Amino acid sequence: MTLLAPANKGASQSFLVSTLRVLCSQERLKEAIATLDILNQQAELVPPRILSSLLDLAAKSRSVEHVSKVHSQIVANCPGSYVLLSTKLINAYGKCGSVHDARKVFDQIPRRDIRSYNAMLHGYSRNRLFEDVIRLFLHLEGTDLRPDGFTYPRVLKAFGALSKVSEGKRIHSKLIKSGFGSRQAMQNALISMYSRCSSLDDARQVFSEMQQRNVVSWNSLIAGYEQNSLWDEALCLFLDMLNGDAVPDSVTIVSVLAACTALGDLKKGMWVHDYLSSLGFSDDDILVNNSLIALYAKCNQMVIAGQLFSKVRERDVFTWTSMISGYAQAGADEAALLFFQQMHVAGVRPNKVTFTSVLPVCARLAALKVGKLIHGLMARLVSEFDDFAACSLLDMYCKCGNLSDARELFNEIPKRALVSWNAMINGYGMHGYGKEASILFEQMENLGIRPDHVTFVALLSACSHSGMIEAGMHYFDTVMNRYRVPRRTEHYASIVDLLGRAGRLDDAWKLIERMPIPVDADVWGALLGACKIHGNINMGEYAAKKLFELKPQKAGYYVLLSNLYRATGKQNDVAKLKLLMKEKGVTKDSAYSWIEMGKDVHVFVACDHPESNGICGIIKCLEAHAEDERRKKLKECSEFSSSLH
């Protein structure tokens, strides 16, 4: 195709119109708009058909400015064509997200037809203004116009998005009466609406009554099961689909992979991945790639996730967040922070999920400087913190030991949800500020906020770390009964820890004997820890025996018992315990440390440096030198003191 040169101001009207026609056909929007400006300056008329093509082109560009220029030309020079082109104008403004301008055009139409209503409904729907969809549809029902096959899908989508199942059923009845109910497009819209309203029996009923199902029918129901956490049912339906005539598309695969991810079913997820390869799916499908990365990251297969990540050409926020979340869940905190940094360098804007994935990493590493930088970034990019985001920030500040900033943030939250109160109470408790935790709990009660089981775990733990025995027992015996919060093993473990720290091991033992629920490892672990503190061998050995039955591979419990033996001078038993660990294949986790330098966090484990022996030798020399200097100073002080006398 030969490209036409842009028109100049001295050209004739016929030449300019001809040029405009060709520029529209070549989709050269900027030159077409420039040519339109020349025609406008010369007050020349443009045929409605060309304006219609230009309007389509402007709408495709999603440019409100360009659509507005074409609109002005229509109003100024083609008033007779305004009504004919009004529906296209509504659609064009809707595509550009300028729903207000679309509504102005709609309101100015003297005699609206069903196409005008459909265009406006579509504009509201595509911009997720579902309340406006319903209002306009109710207005339409009050006119003489009859909704058609383009009207109902928009309305059903709105009812589904707003979970208005009763109104959706009313439309379903109208569809049956009007004869639209047996149309495939309507049935697909009904399945989607019922699925979004969690009315899956109704969705399945419509699906089973369909004479012909296409891929959209299957996708709607599979997505319905997946979004309502019925992941096994979604996978079974996918297998039914494979046995039928419909061929899965990327939408199908995304829903199926999401179900595998939620179940943590790596085997099925890998089968779906292999099936994708057999179908020849494009590696450029970002939605499928993101779903695969999320699957492998959730299943702790970060090597495979990383390989897929490296193949993705255009990485969006979901691609990066899946990797960050995967490394965080796998405990690879340094890698998670590195990916977050690379994401920032790549110019990809994080979302709330990204932030709530990386903040726990900062909390575990006590990386306060990095956490503060992330908080600042959140403040700039996130218009409003939800409860989960605020809670993640509070938890980060508390675990980094910065209670003043945590409390300042807590005070700035306009509508504090229970999770925020719980996080702040827990923050005070973990640092031994039991009194402050108790005061905050009273403030929460005064505001009429009802505590849950998490609140009492945080509160009892705070009492335990602060030695507030009477307060802790009062919360456990009285306050929990007042709020009818059932006691869980976490609550009993906190009280055993509270009593144990105070040396009241017999009372802790009696409490365990009276427990109306099975005693789990947390409770026995709290008792063993208390026995280690107070050197109670017999009780400690019994608690350890129970722990080895419940958690035979948990190295920490063996270490606790070993420390108890060491503290009481039973070295032979320490050796026997090491042998038992070796026989059971229990390995002690490597200790690791970290240091925050500027914006970087450096993590290292014991003996992980290639020159660790040399480093240790230098440290010993420095220690010896420091000891010599200390003794020298003491001798000088002693001589100086003697001289005074």
User: What percent of the chain is helix, strand and coil (3-state, nearest 5)?
Assistant: 75, 0, 25
The Cα–Cα gap between 288 and 252 comes to: 10
What is the pLDDT, as a whole number, of residue 279? Answer: 79
Q: Count other Cβ atoms within 10 Å, centred on residue 552.
A: 12
CA 116 to chain centre: 39
pLDDT band at 593 (very low <50, low <70, confident <90, very high): low
Q: Copy the structure tokens of residue 589.
A: 């986790």
Average pLDDT of the residues in 96-121: 92
Residue 300 · residue 266 · CB < 8 Å: no
Q: What is the percent of the chain with per-residue pLDDT over 70, rounded to a whole number?
A: 87
pLDDT value at 10 more than 70 = no
What is the pLDDT, as a whole number, of residue 432? Answer: 92
The Cα–Cα gap between 545 and 561 comes to: 10
348-361 burial, b if ≥16 CB within 10 A, otherwise e? bebbbbbbbbbbbb
Residue 594 · residue 400 · CB < 8 Å: no
What is the pLDDT, as a whole number, of residue 601? Answer: 55
The Cα–Cα gap between 358 and 325 comes to: 7
The Cα–Cα gap between 274 and 264 comes to: 17
Residue 113 · residue 147 · CB < 8 Å: no
The Cα–Cα gap between 456 and 43 comes to: 77
pLDDT value at 2 more than 50 = no
Residue 453 · residue 424 · CB < 8 Å: no
What is the pLDDT, as a whole number, of residue 501? Answer: 93
The Cα–Cα gap between 366 and 621 comes to: 30
Average pLDDT of the residues in 302-312: 93
The Cα–Cα gap between 186 and 168 comes to: 12
Partners of 605 in the β-ladder: 592
Question: What is the per-residue pLDDT across 481-490, written as a single tens digit (0 to 9) for each?
Answer: 999 999 999 9
Closest CA relative to residue 426, chosen from 444, 414, 413: 444
Tokens 């280690």 correspond to what residue? 532
The Cα–Cα gap between 110 and 127 comes to: 25
Q: What is the pTM of this model?
A: 0.74
Q: Copy the structure tokens of residue 384.
A: 């409003």
Q: Count other Cβ atoms within 10 Å, centred on residue 5.
A: 8
Measured CA angle at 317 (ends 312, 321), to 5 deg: 90
Question: What is the per-residue pLDDT across 344-390, written as a single tens digit (0 to 9) for each?
Answer: 999 999 999 999 999 999 999 989 999 999 999 998 888 777 788 88
What is the pLDDT, as a whole number, of residue 57? Answer: 82
**What would you measure as the largest C-alpha separation in the chain, in angstroms?**
117
pLDDT band at 591 (very low <50, low <70, confident <90, very high): low
Question: What is the per-residue pLDDT across 440-459, written as a single tens digit (0 to 9) for each?
Answer: 999 999 999 999 999 999 99
Q: Copy the structure tokens of residue 453.
A: 């089981």
Residue 221 · residue 207 · CB < 8 Å: yes
Question: What is the per-residue pLDDT across 599-636, written as a single tens digit (0 to 9) for each?
Answer: 555 555 555 555 656 666 666 677 777 777 766 655 65
pLDDT value at 644 more than 80 = no
Q: Is 339 exposed, middle or buried (0-12, 13-18, 19+ CB in 10 A)?
A: buried
Q: Give me the chain's average pLDDT, please.
A: 87
> What torsion do the CA atoms of 403, 405, 411, 415 make, to the nearest 10 degrees?
-100
Closest CA relative to residue 534, chosen from 505, 574, 562: 505
- Crossing angle of helices 333-345 and 368-381, in 10° steps, is 40
Residue 599 · residue 370 · CB < 8 Å: yes
The Cα–Cα gap between 286 and 292 comes to: 10
First-to-last alpha carbon distance for the chain, in angstroms, is 109
Q: Copy the structure tokens of residue 570.
A: 């039973």
The Cα–Cα gap between 54 and 26 comes to: 11
Closest CA relative to residue 40, chosen from 10, 61, 70, 79: 70
The Cα–Cα gap between 21 and 4 comes to: 11
pLDDT band at 277 (very low <50, low <70, confident <90, very high): confident
Q: How many residues does the chain have?
A: 645
Query: Of the segments 107-116, 579-588, 605-614, which one has the largest average pLDDT value?
Result: 107-116
